[in-house]
Amino acid sequence: MIRDRKGGVPIVCLTAYTYPVARLLDDHVDLLLVGDSVAMVLHGHQTTLGASVEMMIAHGQAVMRGSAKACVVVDMPAGSYEDSATQAVASARRIVGETGCQAVKLEGGVGMAAQIAAIVAEGIPVMGHIGLLPQSVEADGGYRIKGRTEENAAALFRDAAAVEKAGAFSVVIEGTIEAVAADLTRNISIPTIGIGASGDCDGQILVIDDMVGLTVDRVPRFVKEYAKLRDVISQAASTYAAEVRSRAFPGPDHVFSATTGKERT
């Protein structure tokens, strides 16, 4: 269980939104997050606010079909849980019921503790999310790093404690000053998953498209690109286009002959 990994070997997490990517990642990670970042990464929205419950369920179902080992967590999108504990439970039940995922994730600390507790009471595991909250960037005036002031750091500690007390099995710490994220990790008993936070967190997560160099817009500063698939795809498309225009493709190996009976297997 992820909760039991506190202080041990770091927990490896990545986002996944599709069946083939889930298949490729499943052997290498402990946790796959079907993040509401899908609204930006795959659907071209400017923020995660473009995600809906239906969108999260569709991508959650795809990832579950491709995952056999990893813990799959599906984000609860903005507007699906904030109003009340009753709304949060109904949304969580629907997401888990229609995807079969192992847990849900929602953003917020003190203000969302009642929602977390209510979902957990229904037997649905919850991952928390504090620090920079992508669903709140418009209200927050942009992507602002957290923990720069004593007042803000103190608020983060209250949020972490509230999420822990409410029964979350882990918590994402995003966009937070390194020293503060490290202190938060030492201060609570549940695992912390860092993204733009601290190497001292109990695990790390990145958006898969950022990690493999597929992001076509702005790549966050905290991302390390382990591959550059932008270049690979662009070059492949360029070569394909040239071969189509020159009639080099399709060649004999890519068409069907009445004499060979070649079929795709």
* Angle at 11 (CA atoms; ends 9, 15), nearest 5 degrees: 160
Q: Is 82 a catalytic residue?
A: no
pLDDT at res. 263: 59
pLDDT at res. 41: 96
> Which residue in the list 122, 164, 174, 263 is annotated as catalytic?
174
Omega of the bond leading into 20 within 30 degrees of 0 (cis) = no
Contacts of 22 (CB under 8 A, 6+ apart): 16, 32, 62, 63, 64, 65, 66, 67, 70
How far apart are the C-alpha atoms of 188 and 3, rounded to whole Å?
A: 12
Helices (H) and strands (E) in the chain, counts: 10, 8
pLDDT at res. 142: 84
How far apart are the C-alpha atoms of 132 and 109, rounded to whole Å?
A: 11
Residues in the chain, overall count: 265
Q: 88: burial class by Cβ within 10 Å (0-12, 13-18, 19+)?
A: buried
* 192 and 203 Cβ atoms separated by less than 8 Å: yes
pLDDT at res. 217: 86
| Both structure tokens of 48 | 């995660």
Smallest CA-to-CA distance from 51 within 91, 11, 102, 10 is with 91
Reading the chain (265 residues) residue by residue, the pLDDT tens digits are 899 999 999 999 999 999 999 999 999 999 999 999 999 999 999 999 999 999 999 999 999 999 999 999 999 999 999 999 999 999 999 999 999 999 999 999 999 999 999 999 999 999 999 999 999 988 888 889 999 999 999 999 999 999 999 999 999 999 999 999 999 999 999 999 999 999 999 999 999 999 999 999 889 999 999 999 999 999 999 999 999 999 999 999 999 988 755 555 5
pLDDT at res. 262: 52
pLDDT at res. 265: 52
- What HEC string does 165-213 produce? HHCCCEEEEECECHHHHHHHHHHCCCCEEEECCCCCCCEEEECHHHHCC
